[in-house]
Structure 1
Amino acid sequence: MLAALRATHEHLDLEVLDALTRDAASLPALLTELAAAREEELEGPGALLRGQVVVSTCNRLEIYLDTDRFHDSIALMLDAVATTSSLPREQVAACFDAAVDTPVAEHLYAVTSGLRSLVIGEAEIAGQVRHAYETARAQGRTSTLLHDLFQHAFRCGKAVTTQAPVGAAGRSGAAIALDLAAAQLGGLADARVIVIGTGAYARLGVAELQRRGVTPAQIGVISLSGREDVFAASHGVTPIPATQLGAAARAADLVIACSGHGTVLHPEHLEGVGRTVVLDLALHSDVHPGVADLAGVSVLGLADLRRELPPTDQAAYAQAQQIVAEHVAAFTARCEARRLDPATAALRQKVAEAAQAEIERLHRDAAAETAAQVERSVRRILARVLHEPAQHARRIAAEGGAEQYAQAFHTVFGIDITAAAPPGTARTGAEHTGSEQQWMRADRTVPPVLAMTEAETSQR
């Protein structure tokens, strides 16, 4: 079955997300390590971890698992995040929602389509989800179920972007942030800009600035990791040593802080300057809180990018939701069809074994040329005959009749395939309504290791 945990901007403050995502890059390896250690202790059949994909961005931390053990896998994920974030396990459990099967696909497809972003319709999230999946695949951490889940997600995101553009309509969060900065500065054409950081937001910000007519000579880049020269050379901007941060900031009209290294820009760097806009775009803020108190300085953070969907976009949003529903239905049908793969394989194997015995007898009793011709004819006939049951199986599975098909298959052919399907796979089906109500708080799904205080329980 699919199991997932999610902690997003829709339920949590960005500061809490920042804490949860600390060292999220080490989560996949830790999940694998913990699963290997615990599977030996679990009773009964079924794998704890068949595959995993971790999606970590500035707006969310989501973990998708292919597992046979829902509650054990939730406990596994919570323990892993508690370890990487260094937060108390009970606090982590209070921050996450959990779900299984169809609601997981519904959520992922809406996320990949930009419908659950801070800026609805923004473009980065599809690339971030794809990067997370490709990283997991390259590390050998995915499964057939997760492959199907994410491939449908990518097709869904593309369909929404092309057929029902909504909100930011495929624009980046950096573009929205620069809209806000331009409004406060009266335009960006003559603005002097420094970018702190060389990551994804820095690249997007520089590209968007240049698209708006800001010349490379007006843009400087500072890297706390010493990568300013490489970044500047590839983007045609001016490298600035980190030691000159104060002078560069005082000379700038716009500061884009997106390094994620923690507090980099302090009040003394901008004290006494004229009109300056600071875009604080890192989840782990680069900007000291005191900067916002300086006269003439305006600080805009990730939370300021949030915008309500205008009434003119409601129809497009409804169409986008319908596209998501269609792709979820296609994925569910695919899962049901895969449940019957063992039946099709068993039938092919049984027929092939019977045919092979006759073919071997034919080769013993007939001339070689005659035997070869008959063998080719027999195999062609069998391929045509077996094709139709396979097509029927797919259609019946898509209509929700996989269980009945499996029982009928056993009755007719005497082959029991129930053991071939991993426990829980039947749950990816029609019994789920697709409602957000199918998500539950993780600390109500699996008992916390430590009892929570009343204050902690009411945090969210």
Structure 2
Amino acid sequence: MLFCFTSSHRTAGFDLLDRLERGADAVIDAIRGQQAVTGSVVLATCNRFEAYLDVDLDKLELRDHAAAGLIDLVADAAQVAPDELRDGSQLIAGDAVASHLFSVSSGLESVVVGEGEIAGQVRRAYTAARNSGAVTHDLERLFQTASRTSRGVKNTTGLMTQGRSMVRLALDLAESRFADWSAVRVLLVGTGRYAAASLAALRDRGVTDAAVWSRTGRARSFALSHGIEAVPADGLTAAVASADLVITCTVSPALVVTRDIVSDALSGASDARRLLIVDLGLPRNVEPAVAEVERVELLDLETISLHAPLEELQATDSARELVGAAAAEFAAKSAERDVEPALVALRRHVFEKLDAEIARAASRDANGEIERALRHFAGVLLHTPSVKARELARDGDAAAFVDGVAAVFGVEAEDALGTIGGTIAGSVAQNNVAETGRETA
């Protein structure tokens, strides 16, 4: 059964997301160490931390408390108080997992609705899990469908092709600080995808003077490939001193730009000199106390998210309709699997009888005509029950088919409906109701 643990900008503050990101490796190890978890994909972005799990309900201990158990597991691994995590997260189970992931991967749940980066982040999370052998058949189908859905939203609605991103939103907020972008000296801290996206967005605004610093030593190669200046490893303070705008976007687990660095950098600056620092890192790259330094302004993810435009960035109705249709189809195909054991049992029953009849008629069937006729008849006989079984499953009434096969043919399908899942799904559904609507400004 599919589960999703999710903590995002809709339910938690960025401080909690920051701590979850820092504990991501420990969370992954803790989840994959559980016997009941057969597969997992962990997604960590600048505004969400999610774990998609395939759980063998037969192996769960304390089944009635599965929802609380998962919260406690994540809290312990990330060293977060369970009550805080419970208040800042949701647990989703069953068909709702697909609906949630499809919305996430299509940019409908992002701080900036329709952002283009999220589809790639989801794909990389899935690929990493697959490479580590943590992806099951159900997770494979879930994430492959999510990828197709996000492409459909992008190609059909154009929602994800309009340059919407945290980077561009941050620069929009910085617009009022700079009269002439061509005169702005920019320092990029980091050399990943966000650094490249930031540089592209800056150039769109007319920035020509940019430099890059990296704690990993990749500044030179990034600078050469993007035509900007590379800052030496020991030159961060001097680079901050000469910058008007600093954008940090690394995945460093430790703070990179501290109050001491900024204070030293500005110690000899004139009173008129002002510095804007934009922290796009998660975990955060900039020490919050930097904002206390005179003439320094800090925009971090939490501040940026509070200014996300709403009306003009709302997803189109067609995008939500596409996601809804994809989720409904995924759920329908999942439901069809509930009747597969009963269908297999019915087919086995029919073909066992068929083979017995063919064996009895073998002496009178030199040309195989009787066998062909009987096999054709069996196929025709099974066609209507097969179609009806899938229709019932899609309508949420797979039990009617399973019970009917047992009543009419005396054929029992072993655990055809996975009845153990009902209790767990109900527990998590109640948790969802309790958690829905909790948002931290």
Determine if the TM-score, normalized by the shorter chain, exceeds 0.5.
Answer: yes
SS in 2 for 1:189: helix
Q: Is the counterpart of residue 410 in structure 1 residue 406 in structure 2?
A: yes
Which amino acid in 1 is paired with 2:347? R
Per-residue deviation, residues 173-229 of structure 1 (Å, max 9, x unmatched): 2222233334422353343322111233223223333455545xx332211122223
SS at match of 1:150: helix
Q: Secondary structure of the equivalent of 2:321?
A: helix
Secondary structure of residue in 2 paired with 1:278? strand
One-letter amino acid of the counterpart of residue 432, structure 2: Q
Aligned to 1:28: 28
Q: Deviations over 1:65-98 (max 9, x none)?
A: 2332565543443343234322344544443322
- Alignment correspondent of 1:343: 342
Which aligned pairs between 1:51-90 and structure 2 lie closer than 5 A?
51-67=39-55, 68=57, 69=60, 71-90=64-83
- Which letter does structure 1 place at the counterpart of 2:140? H
Matching residue's letter, 2:434: M
Q: How does 1:369-448 map to 2 (within 5 A)?
A: 370-371=367-368, 379=375, 382-383=378-379, 385-417=381-413, 419-425=415-421, 438-441=432-435
Residues 418 and 297 (structure 1 numbering): CA distance in 2 closer, same or farther, change over 3 Å?
A: same
Structure 2 CA distance for partners of 1:161 and 1:426, relative to 1, 3 Å: farther
Question: In the aligned structure 1, how far is the partner of 2:355 from the partner of 2:180?
Answer: 78
Q: Which runs of 5+ in 2 are unaligned?
A: none
Query: Which shifted more, 203-212 or 239-248?
Result: 203-212
**Which of 240, 244, 248 is matched with 2:231 structurally?**
240
Q: What's 2:11 paired with?
A: 11
- Taking a change above 3 Å as real, the CA distance of residues 146 and 72 of structure 1, as seen in their structure-2 partners, is farther
Per-residue Cα deviation, 1:249-298 (whole angstroms, up to 9, x for no partner): 22223211122433322322244263432211112222233433445433
Which residue matches 1:255?
246
CA distance in 2, matches of 1:428, 1:325: 24
Superposed, which structure 2 residues align to 1:142-157 within 5 Å? 142-157=135-150
Retained in 1: the 8 A contact 2:114–2:313? no
Q: What's the CA shift for 1:353?
A: 3.1
Aligned partner letter, 2:94:
D
Cα separation, partners in 2 of 1:243 and 1:149, compared to 1, 3 Å: same
Tell me by how many angstroms 1:156 deviates. Answer: 3.3
Contact 1:194 1:221 in 2 (8 A): yes
Q: TM-score, normalised by structure 2?
A: 0.82
Sort the Cα spacing of 1:311 and 1:118 in 2 relative to 1 into closer, same or farther, 3 A: closer
Q: Please state whether the residue corresponding to 1:420 is helix, strand or coil.
A: coil
1:110 CA drift (Å): 2.4
Q: Which moved more, 1:124-133 or 1:149-158?
A: 149-158
AA aligned to 2:352 is: E
User: Secondary structure, in 3 states, of the residue corresponding to 2:182?
Assistant: coil
Secondary structure of the corresponding residue to residue 299 of structure 1? strand
2:287 match: 288
Q: Secondary structure at the match of 1:340?
A: helix
Offset of 1:436 from its aligned partner? 10
- Give me the whole-angstrom Cα distance separating, in 1, the residues matched to 2:11 and 2:321: 24
Residue 84 and residue 232 in structure 1: after superposition, are their counterparts in 2 closer, same or farther (change >3 A)? farther
Q: Following the alignment from structure 1 to structure 2, what is the Cα–Cα distance between the partners of residues 200 and 71?
A: 43
SS in 1 for 2:3: strand
SS of residue in 2 equivalent to 1:51 = strand
Query: Counterparts of 1:290 and 1:77 in 2: how far apart (Å)?
Result: 34
Letter in structure 2 aligned against 1:405 = F
1:263/1:285 contact within 8 Å kept = yes
Structure 1 residue 269 corresponds to structure 2 residue 265: yes
Alignment partners' CA distance in 2, 1:440 and 1:133:
29
Of all paired residues, the percent bearing the same amino acid is: 34
Contact 1:161 1:169 in 2 (8 A): no
Deviation at 1:414, TM superposition (A): 1.7
- Work out whether residues 79 and 89 of structure 1, in 8 Å CA contact, stay in contact via their aligned partners in 2: yes
Mapped pair 1:122 → 2:110: no
TM-score (norm 1): 0.79
Cα distance, 1:310–1:415 mapped onto 2, change above 3 Å:
same
381 and 292 in structure 1: CA distance in 2 versus 1, 3 angstrom threshold = same
Q: CA deviation at 1:231?
A: 3.0
Task: Tell me if the contact between 2:119 and 2:150 (Cα under 8 Å) persists in the aligned partners.
Answer: yes
For structure 1, list consecutive stretches of 5 or more residues without a partner in the other structure: 37-47, 443-458
Show CA shifts across 1:342-398 (max 9, x none): 12222232333334445556667755xx34x76566556645554443232222222
> What is the SS of the residue equivalent to 1:105?
helix
Which string of whole-angstrom CA distances, capped at 9 and with x for unpartnered residues, describes residues 137-156 of structure 1? 33332333333433333333
Distance 1:313 1:54, change over 3 A: closer
CA distance in 2, matches of 1:299, 1:63: 31
> Matches of 1:376 and 1:402 in 2, distance apart?
32
* Structure 1 residue 208 corresponds to structure 2 residue 201: yes
Amino acid across the alignment from 1:14: F
Structure 1 range deviating more: 179-188 or 18-27? 179-188
Distance in 2, Cα, partners of 1:403 & 1:170: 48
SS of equivalent residue, structure 1 residue 298? strand
Provide the rounded CA distance (Å) in 2 between the counterparts of 1:305 and 1:181.
10
Counterparts of 1:269-348 in structure 2 under 5 Å? Answer: 269-271=265-267, 272=269, 274-306=273-305, 307-311=307-311, 316-348=315-347
Does the 8 Å CA contact 2:339/2:416 hold for their aligned counterparts? no
Between the aligned partners of 1:20 and 1:97, the Cα distance in structure 2 is 14
Within 5 Å, give how 1:130-145 maps onto structure 2: 130-145=123-138
1:50 Cα shift?
Answer: 3.3
1:159-178 pair list within 5 angstroms: 159-164=152-157, 169=162, 171-178=164-171
